[in-house]
Amino acid sequence: MTEPALLSVENVSVDLPTPRGNLRAVDQVDLKIGAGQTLGVVGESGCGKTMLSRAVLQLLPKKAKLSGRVMFDGQDLVRLDPERLRKLRGRSLAVVFQDPMTSLNPVLTIGTQLIETLQEHLELDGVVARRRSVELLAAVGIPAPEQRLVQYPHQLSGGMRQRVAIAIALSCEPKFLIADEPTTALDVTIQAQILDLLAREQRRRHMAMILITHDLGVVAGRTDEVAVMYAGRVVERAPTPVLFKKMHMPYTEALLAAIPKIDAAPHTPLPAISGRPPDPTRPIQGCSFSPRCRYAAGRCYREKPLLAASESPDHHYACFHPIQVTADFCA
Amino acid sequence: MMVTQQSSSGDPLLKVESLVVEYAVGGKTVHAVSGVSLQVARGETLGLVGESGCGKSTLGRAVLQLRRAVSGRVVFDGQDLSAMQGDALRRMRRRMQLIFQDPIASLNPRRRIGDIIAEPLVISGVKDPKRRQELVGEVLGAVGLDPSLVAGRLPHEFSGGQSQRICIARALVLNPEFIICDEPVSALDVSIRAQILNLLEDMKARFGLTLLFIAHDLAVVKAVSDRVAVMYLGRLCEVGPSEQLFSNPAHPYTALLIDAIPVPDPEVRPAESVPVGEPPSPIAPPSGCRFRTRCPRADQRCIDEVPELRPVAPDQYAACHHPLIAAG
């Protein structure tokens, strides 16, 4: 990335105490995102992708312990006082969650929630805030925006609710948006609409974005760079076209291969990944993926591979036995 | 509907004829399934796709008579289930099983796995506990779980993927001929999803099953189905052999669904042309073709006239006045 980073996550770890012992949800993660860039964070449930986004937003559960730095626009969010942090969130740093029902207040109208956000952060007066709200709802593709202002979240469909959540997130012209599985709860035709909307607004506002998803398909067409997470760590990171053309990490390869392809013949057996992700309260010695990896050998079971640059400086991976040539393995 | 969607010779195992299912919500009628006809041949997997609220799960439940239809018939192995009651229906149901989306919610948290799987055997009158244990062991082994490790444990000790294996074992224990899989992998992670899809394919071959596979994910449906039926707002849009339907969709809705799938390849640009709009409410479905409010090809005829399923290619049928491919 040539531009100076807008957000940089530096050696961030998140530990959560559980009755079964310490759970390391995020393990020494480093990431950088420049202005206007989109980073896709991909992984399966429990890989730490949501905890990572919460660490960036400083919205971790109370008992969680965070180490490392989260530098945003020259300030370390981890050490920022709560009042300034609150001003920053919503204003410069916005978020869209998977389930809009949990981020929207069910007892307030759409209008109240939008207008409140605008008044709080931009100190607009009521009339102006109301006009902006209508514009924002129209911009995110909501028909009859005037009428929507007086409606409650439950009166809208899932897709419309997510549009409202996006309108609120965009309302203060943030520099940075975290979209955490924004389309997972939506149908496929609505998913495409919402992803288009996010991409369009992002381009228009030159906004940086982290797109968190479990779907490599979503990441492929919509991000500049991808970080693949497994068991709390980033195991591979590369510009999107590079990653898909030349992945080095066996987990990335296995994850892509396990997706049913629309152009594959019916009844083609899928190359499934055997076993399941490790229990995060029982850390594995060596590479966390080694018990499921078909390339694993001696060293993989003893030592943890570190994320290191490959022959191209933008491409990082954490593997002792990287896949070298993967021209058309999934064809 | 006039067409018979016959894919192979012989009697189909399941025949659904002009099925209508409606239910009342707050004094209004939800038109969940509005005149659906389809057939599933013995040994075939029919995929049923559509977005949430299109009526695909209701259709599945109506096939099993878990929800009674307003009109139409469900014929299983030559017998009309819609006319059956009580014991006769219960006897038929042994031959048909259902696997749900949420495997964890469909296992009783207070019962041991061995008992959960043996329950259908108890109900169907297998009295000898030894025999039951034997059968439970067999199906657990078949789905890739070790009976000696699993049978005595409780559901919370298992992950989503393992729980779905347990649900599949329970569905298999009565040696059914027909299984309805209702979104069986939607709640599972990618790496686990592939395991379960492969397992379903193995079980189908091993036990000679016929499947109705309901899902919203087209790629998942295609991976396991011989034929696919596409449903929109209570009606079938299109039915055809999987390969053919995906390479040459005739109904604009099928084409829209295919275009909307994110492709895991950065060289494939996401389709920019996905039209804005959402499915209308099944409480007040549009007149004529129900897809017309989102369809780029819709005209006056689509408002006035309900399109019937008509052949557009060998074994492929579409309910559209302006299909993307015309019968040659």
Q: Residue A184 corresponds to which tokens in the numbers above? A: 């997972």
CB contact under 8 Å between A276 and B266, yes or no, is no
* Nearest chain A residue (CA) to B219: A262
Q: Using 50, 70 and 90 to split pLDDT, how confident is the model at B275? A: low
Cα pseudo-dihedral B308, B311, B317, B321, rounded to 10:
-50
Residue B304 CB neighbour total at 10 angstroms = 11
From the list B161, B219, B262, the residue facing A276 with the nearest CB is B161
Distance of CA A219 to the CA centre of its chain: 10
| Residue A185: per-residue pLDDT | 78
Cβ-Cβ contacts under 8 Å, B159 against chain A:
276
Asked if B190 and A258 come within 8 Å (Cβ–Cβ), the reply is yes
B188 confidence band (pLDDT: 50, 70, 90)? confident
Using DSSP's 3-state secondary structure scheme, residue A283 falls into coil
Closest CA of chain B from A79, distance in Å: 35
Q: Which residues, given as ranges, of chain A have pLDDT below 50?
A: 1, 326-331
All structural domains of chain A with their residue ranges: 5-230
B78 three-state secondary structure: coil
Where residue B97 falls among pLDDT bands split at 50, 70, 90? Answer: very high
Sign of CA dihedral A17, A21, A23, A28: positive
Residue B272 pLDDT > 70, yes or no?
Answer: no
Q: Report the C-alpha gap between B121 and B98 in whole angstroms.
A: 15
**DSSP class of residue B84?**
-
As a whole number, mean pLDDT of residues B275-282 equals 77
The better pLDDT of the pair B81, B101 is held by B81
- Residue of A188, A240, A254 lying closest to B266 (CB–CB): A240
How close, in Å, is residue B183 to chain A by CA atoms? 13
User: Given a cut of 80, is residue B99 above it in pLDDT?
Assistant: yes
Closest by Cα among B155, B79, B149 to B112: B155
> What is the tally of helices (H) and strands (E) in chain A?
11, 12
Classify B260 as helix, strand or coil.
helix
Biggest CA pair distance of chain A: 68
Q: Indicate the DSSP class of residue A80.
A: S
3-state secondary structure of B115: helix
- State the amino acid at position B34 in one-letter form: S
d(CA B251, CA B238): 6
Q: What integer pLDDT is reported at residue A3 of this predicted model?
A: 59
Instruction: Using an 8 Å CB-CB cutoff, list chain A residues near B267.
Output: 241, 244
Helix intervals (H) in A92-232: 100-103, 110-122, 126-139, 145-148, 158-170, 188-205, 216-222
For the segment B131-161, what is each residue's pLDDT rounded down to a tens digit? 999 999 999 999 999 999 999 999 998 988 9
The closest CB to that of A218, out of B193, B225, B262, belongs to B262
Residues in chain A: 331
Contact status of A188 with chain B (Cβ, < 8 Å): yes
Whether A327 contacts chain B with CB within 8 A: no
At which residue do the structure tokens 């389809």 appear? B38
Nearest to B197 among A256, A260, A274 (CB): A260
* Residue A11 backbone dihedrals phi, psi, to 5 degrees: 50, 50
Tell me: the pLDDT tens digits for B282-295? 899 999 999 999 99
Indicate the pLDDT class of residue B178, thresholds 50, 70 and 90: very high
Contacts of residue B191 in chain A, CB cutoff 8 Å? 44, 254-255, 258, 272-273, 276-277
Q: Measured between CB atoms, does A20 come within 8 Å of chain B?
A: no
B222 and A190 within 8 Å at the Cβ level: the answer is no
Closest CA to B263 of A246, A191, A228: A191
**What pLDDT score was predicted for residue B328?**
54
- As a whole number, the mean pLDDT across chain B is 91
Residue of A nearest to B270 (CA): A221
Residue A285 distance to chain B (closest CA, Å): 22
The CATH homologous superfamily to which domain A5-230 belongs is P-loop containing nucleotide triphosphate hydrolases (3.40.50.300)
Residues 6+ apart with CB under 8 A from B213: B45, B46, B47, B48, B181, B184, B200, B221, B224, B225
pLDDT of amino acid B266: 85
Pairwise CB contact (< 8 Å): B190 & A193: no
Which of B248, B247, B229, B227 is closest to B238 using CA atoms?
A: B229
Pick from B159, B264, B270: CB nearest A276? B159
For the question of an ipTM over 0.90, the answer is: no
B233-261: average pLDDT: 94
**Number of helices (H), then strands (E), in chain B:** 11, 12
- Please report the domains of chain B, with CATH numbers, ordered by start residue: 1-42+54-88+226-265+276-328 (3.40.50.300)
Q: What is the pLDDT of residues A182-236, one digit of tens each?
A: 988 788 888 888 888 899 889 998 999 999 998 898 999 899 999 999 999 999 9
Tokens of A203: 């381009």
Q: pLDDT per residue over A248-270, tens digit each?
A: 999 999 999 999 988 899 999 99
User: B-chain residues within 8 Å CB-CB of A259?
Assistant: 190, 194, 219, 264
Q: Which of B52, B104, B190 to mutate to test the interface with A (most CBs of A within 10 A)?
A: B190
| Helix (H), strand (E) at residue B205 | helix B190-207
From chain A, pick out residues whose CB is under 8 angstroms from the CB of B242: 266
Q: Do B222 and A221 touch (CB under 8 A)?
A: no
CA distance B166 to chain A (A): 16
Residues of chain A with C-beta less than 8 angstroms from the C-beta of B274: 189, 192-193, 196
Confidence (pLDDT) at B110: 95
Contact A187, B53 (CB under 8 A): no
Residues of B in contact with A48 (CB under 8 A): none
| % of chain B beyond a pLDDT of 70 | 95
For residue A292, the chain B residue with the least C-alpha distance is B191
Q: Identify the closest residue of chain A to B46 by CA–CA distance.
A: A266
Whether residue A141 lies within 8 A of chain B, CB to CB, comes out as yes
Closest chain B residue to A279 measured between Cα atoms? B159
pLDDT at residue B4 above 80?
A: no
Which pLDDT belongs to residue B7? 43
Q: Which residue of A has its CA nearest to B247?
A: A263
DSSP A107-135: TS-HHHHHHHHHHHHH---HHHHHHHHHH
B190/A266 CB distance under 8 A: no
Residue-wise pLDDT for B42-55, tens only, equals 999 999 999 888 99
A269 inside 8 A of chain B by CB? yes
